[in-house]
Structure 1
């Protein structure tokens, strides 16, 4: 069936009042989401080290003992915000894999630099570390890699549901190796980063696979062009790497 332009004029897809309401709803939801994006530090009476990174439509929460170089737990997934309610769908949980795939709702309240999230798992308080005001802020997935860090980049064609992500705010990063399809969690690490003048530097604050890496600073060549993050240098093991990452949701080239 072909719908002509005149038919569309006589039979609008959505009544004007409904369309206006939909546009306003989107604006409110986007504003609420923007209010909570960035990195947050967990505030507890015990003084636990913990961070929450929220960007675009993904979030990740981690707890660790920085002084003792001990990783405790991490979880994360996708989320939406509406009417100050955050709806979260878990994609990985290092402590409890039964949480993967479950949806939970949280009431969010922002007051100055403080964020409170309350839900059926408790009430959590955070203090803002940064906002998402950096070109690197977002969730990234690897799309290209050079063999042994040398030669031409080879396009990676993702199969199945296993994936490696890097979740960044304006100053903090965390990578995770996961497989939501089988509720698998294979490792994570995170800390602070800087990206400027062709150099990307990570300082590791937690590492689930090897706590001896905590405190190390890793320097990489950095180039960001057309949404593609060109990343080269040496891994935490000292192996040469050359990779390309793209933000989740970026169309394949």
Structure 2
């Protein structure tokens, strides 16, 4: 009986892991498409970006919360760079995950999207972070929780920054690409930047410390200014 219970728990835990979206997924397109869409997932938040493959030119970005059970995959959109009007909208899909493949079908339009996993998220510090404090004029300034926020979602190798107002649907900007931690430094390799196309291909580096759910980093911003920031776990 004990052996059967252990086997059940192993199978159950494997089933839960198999259904996890945590990580990075790329939308499957035809070979002629010039666009690339990547979606990043933490436990309950997602961000998405669409760019031109060759140049990294920014096309669109979105983000919001999501929920899934055995039958439904539901997104609650907080932001979409192309339409403030759809902020707060819910989108309901059927879905199927097989290995590293994900198919989602819109229940209203019956449109089917196919995605393939390109990265995982198996580290406790790989999640969605929200800007919490910034060091300015010799003081730490706390950025209060509210609809206006800047988020950074990380998977094992990919990241996306998203600045938004979830009440008004105002989009302030997005950037993203790949990252790595080397010699205690956090490096970000920029693949796209909605505010400054010239930053594509550049690398930013930060000193990084994560302690008690607070990520503290310092280094140069995309504008070249020295910054010190604290981020806290968001979703």
What is the TM-score of this pair, normalised by structure 1? Answer: 0.81
The corresponding residue for 2:71 is: 84
Alpha-carbon shift at residue 66 of structure 1 (Å)? 3.4
Alpha-carbon shift at residue 220 of structure 1 (Å)? 0.7
Alpha-carbon shift at residue 83 of structure 1 (Å)? 1.5
Q: Aligned match of 2:224 in 211, 230, 238?
A: 238
SS of structure 2 residue aligned to 1:91: strand
Alpha-carbon shift at residue 32 of structure 1 (Å)? 6.7
Task: Work out the CA distance in 2 between the residues paired with 1:34 and 1:247.
Answer: 23
Structure 1 gap segments, 5+ residues each = 1-26
Alignment of 1:11-160 (within 5 A): 31=16, 35-45=20-30, 46-47=32-33, 48-119=35-106, 120=108, 122-147=111-136, 151-158=138-145, 160=146
Task: Work out the CA distance in 2 between the residues paired with 1:157 and 1:98.
Answer: 25
Task: Work out the CA distance in 2 between the residues paired with 1:32 and 1:73.
Answer: 30
The corresponding residue for 1:4 is: none
Task: Work out the CA distance in 1 between the residues paired with 2:153 and 2:191.
Answer: 15
Would you say 1:181 and 2:170 are equivalent positions? no
Task: Work out the CA distance in 2 between the residues paired with 1:179 and 1:68.
Answer: 28
How many residues align structurally?
220
Task: Work out the CA distance in 1 between the residues paired with 2:163 and 2:173.
Answer: 5
Alpha-carbon shift at residue 152 of structure 1 (Å)? 4.5
Task: Work out the CA distance in 2 between the residues paired with 1:33 and 1:156.
Answer: 37
Alignment of 1:167-206 (within 5 A): 167-206=153-192
SS of structure 2 residue aligned to 1:36: coil
SS of structure 2 residue aligned to 1:182: coil
The corresponding residue for 2:7 is: none
Alpha-carbon shift at residue 227 of structure 1 (Å)? 1.2
Alpha-carbon shift at residue 231 of structure 1 (Å)? 1.0
Structure 2 gap segments, 5+ residues each = 1-11
RMSD: 2.1
Contact 1:40 1:128 in 2 (8 A): yes
Alpha-carbon shift at residue 129 of structure 1 (Å)? 1.1
Task: Work out the CA distance in 2 between the residues paired with 1:200 and 1:135.
Answer: 16
Task: Please give the per-residue CA displacement for 1:49-81, whole angstroms capped at 9, x wherever unaligned.
Answer: 110111110011211013123111111100111
Task: Work out the CA distance in 2 between the residues paired with 1:154 and 1:183.
Answer: 25
Alpha-carbon shift at residue 228 of structure 1 (Å)? 0.9
Task: Work out the CA distance in 1 between the residues paired with 2:18 and 2:174.
Answer: 25
Q: Structure 1 pair 238/184, CA: closer, same or farther in 2 (3 Å)?
A: same
The corresponding residue for 2:6 is: none
